[in-house]
């Protein structure tokens, strides 16, 4: 197997949308980015809601995004963990909370 160089490019705050109206990224002149996207394999990641451990529909942020990338998995934030525990009944069986 031939080892090839790999690049992880994090474009913090760079949203992806096909809607041109009010979209600074899509309306900008980005020749280098466009070339990279056409020439090399690439993907995008979900950066909000449950995909990064936040409540559904909640916008992500830099801290949460980098935490999940570094962990290599979803790191549920406190509010989401408590909400999930209440939903699945674990909250009411937690010995630290119930006496």
pLDDT in tens, the chain (99 residues): 899 899 898 988 888 899 999 999 999 999 999 999 999 999 999 999 999 999 999 999 999 999 999 999 999 999 999 999 999 999 999 999 887
User: What's the pLDDT score for residue 98?
Assistant: 80
User: What's the pLDDT score for residue 99?
Assistant: 76
User: What's the pLDDT score for residue 31?
Assistant: 98
Would you call 62 a catalytic residue per the annotation? yes
Within 10 Å of residue 30's Cβ, how many Cβ atoms? 13
User: What's the pLDDT score for residue 14?
Assistant: 87
Nearest to 55 by CA among 94, 93, 82, 91: 82
User: What's the pLDDT score for residue 15?
Assistant: 85
pTM above 0.75, yes or no: no
What stretches of the chain show up as alpha helix (H) in DSSP?
Answer: 24-27, 31-39, 62-71, 78-88
The three-point CA angle 56-61-64 to 5° equals 80
User: What's the pLDDT score for residue 13?
Assistant: 83
Residue 78, classified by CB atoms within 10 Å of its CB into exposed (0-12), middle (13-18) or buried (19+), is exposed
How long, in residues, is the chain? 99
Catalytic: which of 17, 62, 83, 96? 62
């Amino acid at each position: 197997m031939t080892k090839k160089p790999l690049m992880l490019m994090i474009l913090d705050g760079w949203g992806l949308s096909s809607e041109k109206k009010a979209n600074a990224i899509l309306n900008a002149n980005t020749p280098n980015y466009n070339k990279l996207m056409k020439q090399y394999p690439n993907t995008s990641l979900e950066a909000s809601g449950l995909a990064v451990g936040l409540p559904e529909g909640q916008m992500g942020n830099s801290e949460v995004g980098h935490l999940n990338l570094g962990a290599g998995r979803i790191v549920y934030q406190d509010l989401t963990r408590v909400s999930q525990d209440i939903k699945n009944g674990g909250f009411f069986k937690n010995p630290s909370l119930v006496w």
